[in-house]
Amino acid sequence: MHHWKPPPPLSLSLRSCRFVLSFTPAPAMSASSSSEVAPTGPADAIYRDRILSSKLYFDVPPSKVPVIYSSSYDIAFFGIEKLHPFDSSKWGRICQFLIKEGFLDKKQTVEPLEASNDDLLVVHSESYLSSLKSSLNVAIIIEVPPVSLLPNCLVQNKVLYPFRKQVGGSILAAKLAKERGWAINIGGGFHHCSAEKGGGFCAYADISLCIQFAFVLLNISRVMIIDLDAHQGNGHEIDFSNDRRVYILDMYNAGIYPFDFEAKRYIDQKVELASGTKTKEYLDKLDEALEVY
């Protein structure tokens, strides 16, 4: 565990959860310190080149607000959205609620690009991405068994494409947050997915991807993840288990999925709650947790 005073939060990604990333700009580097972030081998150079050639960062006109959303986020076909406790059509309803209440004009939202295979390879391996060409594997990840019976072309278009659009939104949110001081991706926050393993309705590690892009393109030196989903964020915890630049605060119900005891070892600041925790107790514990050393 390492102690670190976080900077103000800059970007937010909404899943079923509240999820915040805080960034610290990198100081000007001397020749002796530059090795901390510079590529250290051929693999690092390849990842860096993929990030530099990506199209996911693009200029957003000032007329747009830093709220990222696409109607493609929703996953709804053949009633699949009714087969899992996770509401896979919630993102459109969130957007409609914000519009109805006068908080948002849909014309001002930002449409992200779909993350390409090269973008995903910044974190994921070829073997993991290839495994998603099996409908059975995708069904296991999203915990909807009937998906295993569908042609993979349909699964790619109706399930994985919406996920890839949300990945693009999470990555773009970091850029907008750096420019505007804040940003929200109405989708994303797939905190159960790590580089080599999906699960819990999370097929791509958008959090890890967002952070890796920010390290290379935004001159960011440190990141704090504040994960307030009811479930432990085991995916990003595994991915950043050995990265001292990333500090993780995870507040979750310890009595429910995923019970990932290995990943718990990599949480810098854990707040474990019990089912039935009341609002006041929850908020008091959160306030206490945010008063980091």
Residues designated as active site: 192
State whether residue 139 is helix, strand or coil. helix
**Alpha-carbon span 206 to 11, nearest angstrom:** 13
Q: Which tokens hold the place of 95?
A: 């957007």
CA 192-198-200 angle, to 5 degrees, is 50
Q: Which tokens hold the place of 192?
A: 């159960």
State whether residue 152 is helix, strand or coil. helix
Bridge partners (DSSP) listed for residue 67 = 184
- The alpha helices in the chain, defined as continuous H runs, are 42-53, 90-100, 117-120, 126-131, 135-142, 152-155, 161-180, 206-217, 234-239, 261-264, 279-290
